[in-house]
């Protein structure tokens, strides 16, 4: 069994990354694109709803701190500039269980119960890329290719 993994830094946190594994990111923001809005007119009360599911988008993580395979270990100080992790952004938002905050002051009859659900985006890590420099140009060499693609 191959033991290939890396550690990346993203969104202010560090994540353990392996090929064909999933990770949820909480503060993942996409650039705003043109979305179809609900159109209503005053003459007819029909609303035109169009649903287009999102396709998996490619996400490139370039803040790689550590990479290890069976034979070699690369440790960044603090980052490895030669490595990139390629992932696919899977469609849809995921909501975690509700986070409940309960505030209370003893003997004051003060009680507040507040809660919210945290939404996240799921990323499947596909490839580990390495930048190989040759004369006057740079090439990406695929070190680990996903078995699902």
Q: Structural domain boundaries of the chain?
A: 5-29+55-92+121-144
Mean pLDDT of 57-79: 89
**Higher-pLDDT residue of 49, 89:** 89
Categorize the per-residue pLDDT at 41 as very low, low, confident or very high, splitting at 50, 70 and 90. very low
pLDDT (0 to 100) of residue 6? 92
pLDDT (0 to 100) of residue 33? 52
Highest mean pLDDT among 10-19, 23-32, 125-134: 10-19
Q: What residues form DSSP beta bridges with 138?
A: 133
Look over the chain and give the mean of its residue pLDDT values, rounded to a whole number.
78
Instruction: Please name which of 75, 71, 55 lies closest in space to residue 4, comparing C-alpha atoms.
Output: 71
Categorize the per-residue pLDDT at 29 as very low, low, confident or very high, splitting at 50, 70 and 90. low
**Higher-pLDDT residue of 49, 24:** 24
Model pTM?
0.65
Share of residues in the chain with pLDDT > 90 (%)? 26
Identify the burial level of 39 via C-beta atoms within 10 angstroms of its C-beta, where 0-12 means exposed, 13-18 middle and 19 or more buried. Answer: exposed
Token pair recorded at residue 17: 């990354």
pLDDT (0 to 100) of residue 112? 96
pLDDT (0 to 100) of residue 133? 67
* Confidence check: pLDDT of 71 > 80: yes
Taking the alpha carbons of 62, 6, 119, 88 in that order, is the dihedral positive or negative? positive
């Amino acid at each position: 069994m191959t033991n290939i993994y890396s550690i990346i830094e993203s969104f202010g946190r560090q994540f353990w990354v392996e090929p064909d594994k999933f990770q949820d990111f909480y503060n993942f923001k996409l650039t705003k694109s043109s979305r179809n809005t609900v159109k209503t007119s005053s003459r007819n009360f029909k609303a035109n709803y169009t649903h287009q599911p999102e396709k998996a988008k490619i996400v490139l993580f370039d803040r790689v701190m550590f990479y290890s395979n069976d034979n070699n270990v690369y440790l960044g100080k603090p980052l490895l500039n030669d490595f990139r992790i390629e992932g696919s952004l899977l469609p849809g938002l995921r909501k975690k269980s509700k986070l409940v905050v309960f505030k209370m002051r003893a003997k004051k009859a003060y009680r507040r119960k507040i809660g919210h659900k945290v939404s996240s985006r799921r990323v499947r890590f596909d490839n580990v890329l390495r930048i190989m420099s040759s004369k006057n140009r740079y090439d990406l060499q695929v070190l680990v290719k996903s078995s699902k693609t």
